[in-house]
Structure 1
Amino acid sequence: MTEQRFDVWAAGDAYERYMGRWSRLVADRFVDWLGVPDGAVWLDVGCGTGALTSSVARRARPRLVVGADRSAGFLTAARTAVAPPARFVLADALSLPVREGSCDAVVSALALNFLPAPDAAVAEAARAARPGGLVACYVWDYAEGMELLYHFWEAASRLDPTAAAVDERRRFPLCRPEELRSLWTAAGLDGVHVAPIEVRADFAAFAELWEPFLAGQGPAPGYVAALAPPGRERLRGALRDRLPVRPDGSLTLGVRAWAVLGRKPSPGAPGAA
């Protein structure tokens, strides 16, 4: 089984139904945590459907926030959802279309584990930041903090041992504080700090949770979409049996993200080149 063939991120509306309810809550908490002053220039790398870009535009009073993503489909959704001062560009995280030292804050949401060279991406983000500027991101805690995905992959693996090859808990190592701190430190950033962001989301019924898995956006939905209908139905039942569904059919699930920040050294500062 080839893991990457399930890492499909192209349709903005499908992603919003799958992860949007959590990612937007985390984005607001993340922006507040950063505490960047008003009037700053922000760059959101791997902006996707614009959850973080939107939060910056609404909560941080930026002079400009630019969202960059390599998915044209995601950018179409972002441009529809987020108003000025946000702008969006088609670009790769390893080659950002901005001048060196031109941004007050370079941020990223939930993208780091899907990049082919995360260390190079952090170095490129640091290049774009001004001296003293902020470089920060957050990622899902795939290892321990994603209640939905934990139950999903446990159910899938019991039915199909090959599902373990696609499981984000196994594939994505950049989901713990130690790994994130090391990555930021290796990029030469100062004052590196890692913190958890925890949110919960409500579902009126199991069907509301299950339907986004059928759209094929991301590793778990991609795995579901590849199943034959009988296998898909077996997995649906196994997942429902594992979840804390209330008598009225509703349920609440929690997620945790790890956020990391650091600052680009200023010339003449201790430790600066």
Structure 2
Amino acid sequence: MKEQRFDMWAAGDAYERYMGRWSRLVADGFVASLSCADGLRWLDVGCGTGALTAAVAARCRPRMVVGLDRSAGFVVSARAAAPASACFVVADALSLPVRDEGCDVAVSGLALNFLSEPGAAVAEMARVVRPGGLVAAYVWDYAEGMAFLRHFWDAAVAVEPSAAALDEGRRFLVCRPDPLRALWTEAGLVDVAVAPIEVPTVFAGFADLWEPFLAGQGPAPGYVAALAPTTRDRLRDTLGEAVPTRHDGSIAFTARAWAVQGSRPA
């Protein structure tokens, strides 16, 4: 197969079934770890369907929280379930429509790996927070910490070896502690810290695991959508034989994200 990229993010409902249910768990753990005061001005960069924005609104009693995403479809989904303190805007993470020092906290959830210049995005986040303000983000550990995706790509490579080039664990360099720490340091942020967040990813059965891969949202589902039907069936069967199934038919994995935070010098 000719190497392609299948990073389609546009349909909020499909994303929720594929990854949103897990991203909401990790967003809650991430916000809890920040220990921020009430009444702050927050910016959520690459907000997707609003999981992180909702966690901020629920836990931090923000003065305001603005979610930004370049996908108009995601912004529509985020607005549909938005808490009263939140608003959403279609915007580019590499050129934030926010004045210098315009917020207290800038955060980003699961977005950095999908940006063409993650370093530029972090620099933009540092620009828009006040001196002493917080810049924080988290990304999935695609290389070692996403068990259900590891099983998927191992099965895909067994069926079609060229799929190895599309594996997020190989493609995305900013999914480990050292690269994240370097991004924050290069943006001039201080007191930089990186920590893991783990959440359970439990599927009711194999259909609950497999069917979200048919929705076309994200690298793995996009790859599945491009396969010929016979190859897709082989991939399904190979994956089904490989995943560990419990006596009740459920499939239990864990997913790890790496969270990073740092402050703009006062």
What TM-score, normalized by structure 1, do the two folds share? 0.96
- Structure 1 residue 139 corresponds to structure 2 residue 146: no
Unpaired runs of 5+ residues, structure 1, are: 267-273
Give distance in 2, aligned partners of 1:117 and 1:233.
Answer: 36
Distance 2:195 2:229 in 1: 41
- Alpha-carbon distance in 2 for matches of 1:75, 1:31: 21
Q: How far apart, in 1, do the equivalents of 2:181 and 2:204 lie? A: 38
Q: Displacement of 1:50 after TM fit?
A: 0.3
Q: What's the counterpart of residue 192 of structure 1?
A: 192
Please name the residue that 2:204 is paired with: 204
Question: Does 2:104 match 1:119?
Answer: no
Query: Which one-letter code corresponds to 1:171 in the other structure?
Result: R
Cα deviation for residue 242 of structure 1 reads 1.2
Tell me by how many angstroms 1:201 deviates: 2.2
Q: Which amino acid aligns with 2:246?
A: R
In the other structure, the counterpart of 2:129 is: 129
Q: Which residue does the alignment assign to 1:87?
A: 87
User: What is the letter of the counterpart of residue 36 of structure 2?
Assistant: V
Unaligned 5+ runs, structure 2: none
Q: For this pair of structures, how many residues does the alignment match?
A: 265
Matching residue of 2:239: 239
Question: C-alpha offsets along residues 197-234 of structure 1, whole Å, 9 cap, x if unaligned?
Answer: 00102211110111110011000000001111111111
Q: How much has 1:116 moved relative to structure 2?
A: 0.5
RMSD, matched Cα:
0.8
SS in 2 for 1:262: strand
**Aligned counterpart, 2:4:** 3
Could you tell me how far 1:3 is from its partner in structure 2? 3.3
Q: Percent identity?
A: 67
Q: Secondary structure at the match of 1:97?
A: coil
- Name the CA distance, whole Å, in 1 between partners of 2:255 and 2:119: 25
What pairs up with 1:44-83 in 2 under 5 angstroms? 44-83=44-83
Q: Which runs of 4+ in 1 moved over 4 A?
A: none
The one-letter code sitting in structure 1 at the alignment partner of 2:151 is H
Q: 1:241 and 1:36 mapped to 2: Cα distance?
A: 45
User: Structure 1, residues 27-80: CA drift from partner, whole Å, max 9, x if none?
Assistant: 000001011100000000000000000000111110100000000000010000
Aligned AA for 2:4?
E
Mapped to 1, the partners of 2:171 and 2:85 lie a distance apart of: 36
